[in-house]
C-alpha cells in the first residue's frame, strides 16, 4: 500500500488547473481543507462533493490515480472510523457485550471517512497539477511579506518543496527494495499484521541509507550549481496573475461563501 502513495507526484496534462498560478492552487487547497471541518451537514458535504468532482474533472488527472492515493491510508481511515463508532454515545443501534454502536457514532464515522478521503484527494490534485519548481515559487511569492520580519521564506519554501518531492522518490526506492526482498523469497502479503510489520524491518535500513544517499546527491548538485539561497535569484517564468487566476479566486470565494451559509446560517433554520 505504501508503494501506491501518490502525494508529491506530478501528472503532466493540458488542463486549466495546470495553467493556474501556483498561489491560486495553494490558497484553494487550504480553503477547501478548512471548509471540510465546518459543522457537519449533509448539504454542505454534498456541495463539497460536487466541487471536488468538478476540480478532479477539470484537472484531467485519471480518477484511478486519485483513488490509488487513498489506498495507503485505508487502514488508518478504517481504524479511525471504528473508534468513532464505538466511542460516541447516543441512540444505540447495536450492542455486543460492552461494545455499543450508536446512530450518532455511525454519522461521526461517516463524516470522518469522507473528510479524510476528500482531504487526500484535494491535496493530491494540487501536487498532480503543480511542479516542484512552481510550488516553491508559489510558496515564496505567497509568503514574501514575511521577509520584512527576517523570515527565510525562500529557504523554508525550498525545504517544503524538496520534502514533498522526496515522497514519490522514497516510494520508488521502497518499491525497488521490496522487489529485491521478494526475489529472495520474502512474502510481505502472508501472516497477520504483526508478522507483516516484522518483515518490513529489514526494509527500513536500506531505505534510510537510500534516503541519505539521495539527499547527499541533491546537496552536491545544488552546490555544483552555486546555490546560495534566494538572494539575487531570477526566474525564467515569473509569476504574474492572469484573467483565469482572478476567475478562479472568484469561484473559490463563492464556494466558501456557500459553505459558510449552509454550515452556519442555514443550519439554524433546519
For 82-117, the pLDDT digits (tens) are 888 888 777 777 777 778 788 888 888 888 899 999
For 180-231, the pLDDT digits (tens) are 888 888 777 777 777 777 777 888 888 888 888 888 988 898 888 887 776 6
For 36-56, the pLDDT digits (tens) are 988 778 888 899 999 999 999
Contact 71, 1 (CB under 8 A): yes
Distance between CA atoms of residues 260 and 43, nearest Å: 11
The residues near 119 (Cβ < 8 Å, ≥ 6 apart) are 33, 36
Q: pTM for this one?
A: 0.79
For 115-135, the pLDDT digits (tens) are 999 998 998 899 899 988 888
Amino acid at each position: 500500500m505504501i508503494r501506491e502513495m501518490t502525494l508529491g507526484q506530478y501528472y503532466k496534462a493540458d488542463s486549466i488547473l495546470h495553467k493556474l498560478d501556483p498561489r491560486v492552487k495553494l490558497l484553494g487547497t487550504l480553503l477547501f481543507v478548512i471548509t471540510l471541518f465546518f459543522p457537519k451537514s449533509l448539504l454542505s458535504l454534498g456541495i463539497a462533493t460536487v466541487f471536488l468532482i468538478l476540480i478532479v474533472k477539470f484537472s484531467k488527472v485519471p480518477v484511478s490515480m486519485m483513488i490509488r492515493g487513498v489506498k495507503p491510508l485505508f487502514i488508518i481511515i478504517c481504524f479511525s472510523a471504528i473508534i468513532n463508532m464505538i466511542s460516541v454515545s447516543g441512540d444505540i443501534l447495536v450492542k455486543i457485550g460492552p461494545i455499543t454502536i450508536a446512530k450518532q457514532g455511525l454519522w461521526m464515522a461517516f463524516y470522518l471517512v469522507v473528510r479524510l478521503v476528500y482531504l487526500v484527494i484535494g491535496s493530491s490534485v494540487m501536487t498532480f497539477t503543480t511542479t516542484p519548481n512552481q510550488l516553491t515559487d508559489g510558496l515564496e511569492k505567497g509568503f514574501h511579506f514575511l521577509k520584512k520580519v527576517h523570515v527565510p521564506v525562500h529557504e523554508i519554501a525550498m525545504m517544503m518543496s524538496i520534502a514533498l518531492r522526496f515522497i514519490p522518490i522514497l516510494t520508488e526506492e521502497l518499491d525497488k527494495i521490496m522487489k529485491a526482498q521478494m526475489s529472495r523469497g520474502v512474502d510481505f502479503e502472508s501472516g497477520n499484521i504483526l508478522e507483516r510489520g516484522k518483515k518490513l524491518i529489514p526494509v527500513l535500513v536500506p531505505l534510510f541509507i537510500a534516503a541519505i544517499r539521495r539527499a547527499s546527491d541533491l546537496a552536491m548538485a545544488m552546490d555544483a550549481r552555486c546555490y546560495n539561497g534566494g538572494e539575487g535569484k531570477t526566474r525564467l517564468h515569473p509569476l504574474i496573475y492572469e484573467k483565469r487566476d482572478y476567475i478562479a479566486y472568484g469561484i473559490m470565494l463563492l464556494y466558501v461563501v456557500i459553505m459558510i451559509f449552509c454550515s452556519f446560517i442555514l443550519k439554524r433554520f433546519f
